[in-house]
Structure 1
Amino acid sequence: PETGRITASNPCSEYMSLDNSSCNLASLNLLKFLKDDDTFDGPLFAKAVELIITAMDISICFADFPTEAIGKTTVDYRQLGIGYANLGALLMAMGLGYDSDGGRSMAATITSLMTGTSYKRSAELAAVVGPYAGYARNAAAHQRVMRKHQAANDTVRTLHVTDRQVHQLATQAWADVIELGASNGFRNAQASVLAPTGTIGFMMDCDTTGIEPDFSLVKFKKLVGGGSMQIVNQTIPRALRKLGYQPEQVEAIVAYIAEHGHVVDAPGLKSEHYEIFDTAMGARSLKPMGHVRMMAAAQPFLSGAISKTVNLPETATVEEIEEVYLQSWKLGLKATAIYRDNCKVGQPLADGGGKAKKDAADAADALTAAAEEATKVVEKIVYAPTRKRLPKSRTSRTTSFTVGGAEGYMTSGAHDDGELGEIFLKLGKQGSTLAGVMDAFSIAVSIGLQYGVPLETYVSKFTNLRFEPAGLTDDPDVRMSQSIMDYIFRRLALDYLSYEKRAALGIYSAEERQRYLETGSYEPVEETGSPAELIDAPVVEIVEDAHAEPVVTHDTHGSDQREVPAEPAKTAHTSAELLEQITGHAVDSPLCFTCGTKMRPAGSCYVCEGCGSTSGCS
């Protein structure tokens, strides 16, 4: 806090720290630490955290960063973000409900052990290689936060043997943190966050991501040879065995879940065990505050924040969403995100379909007792492109051309309104590969034109394509071409597009380019005034002399004469200055002497974006 404020979070909302900084993330699969007796292996988890934190800190020294400022802040403060995934599956396997005091207690003790062990190792590293560069000015604040973590750990109320064992390890870790930190400082300004783990969760074969509960009990697995198979969450059988159900009962319950997608009325399953199998969506979905309370259980033991979605049903109201944010603030959460089911046309996950969705719909109908609505017939309008065929007899134009020594012929046909409708290209000998390719290309472009593809779209795509043959042409309007395609579509643009459309694409005729040299404008100049007025207009002769002597000017009637100083003779150094002498006024950018395209400034020179030629430097 002595260095800067928290301005914003990253897009996933778990990282909140200084501007121009970054966080090195790593997450552990909690289910890997569940022993055969379905208790959590706290010592092994703490050992893994120590190893991962050490590796994460070392990796900062070898990392590359997008900007120098981000790199400096990251190296100076060395923020780490250790976290975990598969919490929902872990709690289910242990027979604990996600929205229960036992589930929240287990999550709190695991999170406390993780962050406490991380800061303990950070203090041990500081004793060897020194604390982070910004620790001196933030030492008091850092130690105050450590004491707050320790105080929060002391308030956790354990409910069973497993979370009590983990809590004892966490308590000892925080005592070591306070002691070692006071003498050594800390190597890292931040240690832990809870990331979404959406991608790495799949790589670690997790049933659930981050701190999330299971989305649904039934999933679909894609097969290598194609197709998919419906499978039940693999944690469910383990949870049922933990709860004391016999193998035949487990088999029957799993089969029921596979068919219906939920546990309601599953054969032999006790109703008090329903909460263990609650999911984010489905017939027994978690209440929104269940998500918020779980986040509140873990937040006091995290350096950063939590990336998590509070799932709400499609019927959620504005007031219910407001209450979620209000309670999140009261419970001390740093970040909260909500998602209302079906609020988008397409969403990445949905609860089980088929019978499961039908059962959920039937249950909703029974609760609301809504009257059946009359069947409505909705007319679906499908817009499809229509082909505008050319008349049997149409106007056509045949152009012979030469590009880089290669000769060819182009025949273009137009509709009655003058719009281009087809082209035929003849290059190479009949039967050759080139002739066949050009025939196929002509057919493709012609069909596209008849189905409404604008000619300017083709022109913008195919002009400036560069391949052989290329070079000089025999067309006065297109003197240079980068390829046959470049020439063909420039010629078509000149023949069939309006001046405005061609100008937008930077394609001009030889006459228009000449006009630009003379007048500074491609557009025709409209003469104003009557012929008599033009005849009577005074003619002024301007003579430039290097000595700048006064020059007498006269009009044709001899009615007026005055002296004006002559300017020194101009010498052109660049193409722009040459055009200025020719036209009599300044030109922003000259035309390319190679292909005729308008050039752009590049230092004291000009470069052509069409062919790459340069004007030469002054």
Structure 2
Amino acid sequence: VFACSMGDNTIHYMGHIKMMAAAQPFLSGAISKTCNMPEDVTVEDVEELHIESWRLGLKAVAIYRDNCKVAQPLATAKKGHGKEGFGDDPALAGTVDGAPTDAALAKKVAELEKEIERHTVFVKQPVRERLPNKRRSTTTKFRVADCEGYFTVGEYDDGRPGEVFISVSKQGSTLSGLMDAFAVSISLGLQHGVPLSTYVKKYSNSRFEPSGMTDDPELRIATSLMDYIFRRIAVDYMSRDEREELGILTQQERIQPTLPGVEEAVVVDHGSDAVAQVTLDLVAPPTAVVDAAPAGPPKMAAPQRNEVIAPLCYSCGNEMQRAGSCYVCGSCGSTSGCS
């Protein structure tokens, strides 16, 4: 329809130079215009173009020779695909007029996608499960030695714990700030899928001050604030089998006989030279003659409990000793609360 730089009705490349020369006196800088040249130009033609640009006073000139790049936005003729074309790729076998068919292209694309998947490493990212805007929560008031505080556990609709708030000491104090930051990290972990048992196993039996007697009738002694908080959460949200593997039992659960036929009792004398004694009433099984029988399959081992560190005596501070289901201080005779 009109003359352009490509095709049959073209503008000579010298026409591009003369047009730029007409506009150059009105511009302070170079002109961003490409001078398009046909494919059959020679080196001498390019040299002549640059000399003519200098004579006309152009500050800069850029040339482009047709079909000099692997890919270009405008092409006026199809390239012949011989030995260097698509025929070299067996995946693109089946071409029409040198161009691959749709089926050949689809096959090649599928092979490339498989190759990309083979070299791609997928990293599973944790997904945060947020609590509903209106959620149930339980607030527990506690006292460990001379330290008093509160902790609140927010729950999902199915009863699982999803967040923890801990309030200890005065607002703005260092201890209060540390406990707030610690509670936020625990809450984020629970919402990102960290099992509650992992936190309980990690923080129970941790030992630091304040420690000692608590006002909780089920957990009488705590070795630290973290020890009490996570053992209390374990009692509230974990089954007995799970807690038994971690060695976390309430006072009532501890006084139950641990072996059939064995009754445990702790007798404490509160005199000046009182020493705790443990009385074991062994119930002897009836004697009977039993024929030797072939050994059956081996019994499954009971779940291994985590070793529980004996607490410190709340009266004198010495380490207590295990006596049945309780702890007894060998120095002053105090017990962990069993009777």
Flag the structure with higher helix content. 1
Give the TM-score normalised by the residue count of structure 2. Answer: 0.46
Higher Rg:
2
Flag the structure with higher strand content. 2
